[in-house]
Amino acid sequence: MTTPKAVVLGTLHPGEIRRCCVEVWDDRKLGGCQVSRVVSTNSRFVVAAFVPADAGYEPKNSGKHLLGRCVGRVELTINAPDSPSLVSENVSLFVVGSEPAILTIPITGSVLPRFELQPPDVKLPRVSASGPLYSACVICRNTSGGRLMITPATVPQDLIVRVKRGEDIDTVKVMTIEVSPGAGRTGPQSTRQVILTVSDGEITETLTLDVTVGPAD
């Protein structure tokens, strides 16, 4: 058996590196056999190595598992991909002289952008009972739960971007996107890009918000 039986990573961010280990116990499945190798279903994302237990190794879960003895640990290095995705991989353990794998460790999680915009793009005007609305609210969120600072870096001339003031510890910021009165509201439909600089105090990234503006129907 292994402890834990599965690795649940939770949320990762693109490019993040995370390390953890899984202890391997000599129970009925191993039957005293020696672990010969470990294989990952995606070696670019999950790098796995088996480290035999030595005389000085103290298992983390020794008080919880009375069956068998700890024969070693699988050291895992998780290299998150560069784009958002779901993670569902396995690491398999093989013993000397035996096929197929004697144990399989599932590894699950999700890769989310550190900062995200909701909605990811804006189309104006919006329809309302009182007529066309040339403004919308956009939420920027720090998915790691840390602080969030946001600054409009590039704003097209016919757009107005306002960031609602809040505390430095806010993990969510609200912005108002508005089309300036005049030509921006009467010309043919086109898309502008608002460039935003976002930071948690340590990591700074650039987000792009597409704003499509057209005449009212």
Return the SS3 of 9: strand
Domain 115-213 fold: Immunoglobulin-like (2.60.40)
Q: What is the arrangement of strands in the sheet containing 35-40, beginning at the earlier edge strand?
A: 7-12, 103-111, 85-95, 35-40
Residue that the structure tokens 């004697």 belong to: 102
Q: What is each CA distance from 36 to 39, 74, 95, 193, in whole angstroms?
A: 10, 12, 5, 55
Contact (Cβ atoms closer than 8 angstroms) between residue 64 and residue 115? no
Contact (Cβ atoms closer than 8 angstroms) between residue 45 and residue 81? yes
115-118 vs 190-199, strand pairing mode: unpaired
CB atoms within 10 A of CB 212: 12
Return the SS3 of 205: strand
* Domain residue extents for the chain: 2-111, 115-213
Residue that the structure tokens 């993040």 belong to: 16
2-111 and 115-213: same fold? Answer: yes
pLDDT tens series, the chain, 217 aa: 888 999 999 989 888 999 999 998 887 666 567 888 999 999 999 999 999 887 556 666 555 555 567 888 999 999 998 888 999 999 999 988 777 888 899 999 999 999 999 999 999 999 888 888 999 999 999 988 888 999 999 999 999 999 987 665 688 999 999 998 876 677 788 999 999 999 998 889 999 999 999 887 6
Percent helix / strand / coil, the chain, rounded to 5: 0, 55, 45
Return the SS3 of 185: helix
The CA distance from 57 to 72, in Å, is 9
Q: Which residues pair with 92 in a beta bridge?
A: 39, 104
Residue-wise pLDDT tens digits, 74-107? 999 999 988 889 999 999 999 887 778 888 999 9
Q: Which CATH number fits domain 2-111: 3.40.50.300, 3.10.180.10, 2.60.40.10, 2.30.110.10?
A: 2.60.40.10
Helix (H) or strand (E) holding 37: strand 35-40
pTM, entire model: 0.70
Helices (H) and strands (E) in the chain, counts: 0, 16
Say which amino acid occupies 196: L
